[in-house]
Structure formats: structure tokens, C-alpha cells
Amino acid sequence: MKIFNKIFKKKGLVKNETIEANKIIQIANMSAVTYYMPLLDEFPKLTIISDSGLLDEFDSLVTLASVGTIMTQIPHSFNDTETRKYISAINIALLNWNDGSPKQVIEFGNYIKNLTEEKKINNVDELSQSIGTWIFLELYENNPHNIEIEIFTNSPKLFFVLGSMITQTFSNYWKN
């Protein structure tokens, strides 16, 4: 996880972890909703997502990847006690937002961690592409009957653009 040590810096603890956790979910979700239209401008075939009724799920996955990106920074930004408090507060906020969310964020974190350990993520560009890849793989795995979505399971440029939106917005979340 040396990549995260290079990318993320320490910041002072926010006084109320619960308030910060809820804010994280809200900001991540609001950002997720705003990403679709710019993506659609660059990748017009993405209308398949809204035409298939998957826009809410797409927004949810983008939100979870954004929260996961923020959470991966916590151990590099706080001491062990503060880290536990933040992770617990965020998991509770996620559970209140959508009861399956904590599990999906853990899966996201494990996905990123495994790629980092396998040395497949060595810089922010590779991190960005990996984040976008996770979103579209999850969208397809959750909807394998939707053949149209399959065309996006191998779109490195799309993955990079979406992941970059997330890393540009959230990779310095805890910085002063």
C-alpha cells in the first residue's frame, strides 16, 4: 500500500466522526450523480445504463467506489484509534444509506488492495483505471442478463475516465 502513502497525507481528526461519515456518504453520492452526464458526452453508448433502468445502481456503485477511495486513505491519515473510529462511523453511515453497502465497500477495498499487492497499481492513473473497472465489473456481475452492459466490461478508456473523476475528487479528501 505504498502507493497510498505517496498519494495521501495526514490531516487532523474531525471532532465528530459520525457527522463526517454522513458527510462523506452525501458528498460521494452527490458526486456520483453528477458524473453520468459528462461520461455520456464522451461515451454516448452509456445511454444503455439509463435505458436499462440501471442508473440508480450505477450511481450507487460510483458512490461506493468513492467512499472506498476515501476509506483507503484513513490508515495513512490517522493513528490506529482514530482509524477505527472513522471506519466504524463510515460503516454505520453506509449501513443506514443502504444495508448492503458496507460489504460492497469491503469488496472494493479488497479489490484495490489485491491489485496493489500484485503490483498492478503503481500510480494514480492505474488506481483510477482500477476504480472504473471495479464499477463496471460490478454492474455487469449484478446484471449478467443485460447483454448490452457486457460491451462495457472491456473499456479501459471509460474505466480510466470514470476512475479519474473519482480520484481527482477524493484522493486528497483528508488533506488539510
Mean pLDDT, contiguous 10-residue spans, the chain (176 residues): 43 69 96 96 93 95 98 92 94 94 95 96 96 95 85 90 97 83
DSSP state of 78: S
Task: Quote the strand ranges of 16-90, DSSP E.
Answer: none
pLDDT at 148: 81
Flag whether the pTM goes above 0.85.
yes
Q: For 140-176, what is each residue's pLDDT tens digit?
A: 998 888 888 888 878 999 999 999 999 999 999 988 5
* Residue located via cell numbers 472494493: 108
pLDDT at 154: 83
pLDDT at 15: 54
* Residue located via cell numbers 444509506: 97
CB 18 within 8 A of CB 92: yes
Q: Which residues contact 157 (CB under 8 A, 6 or more apart)?
A: none
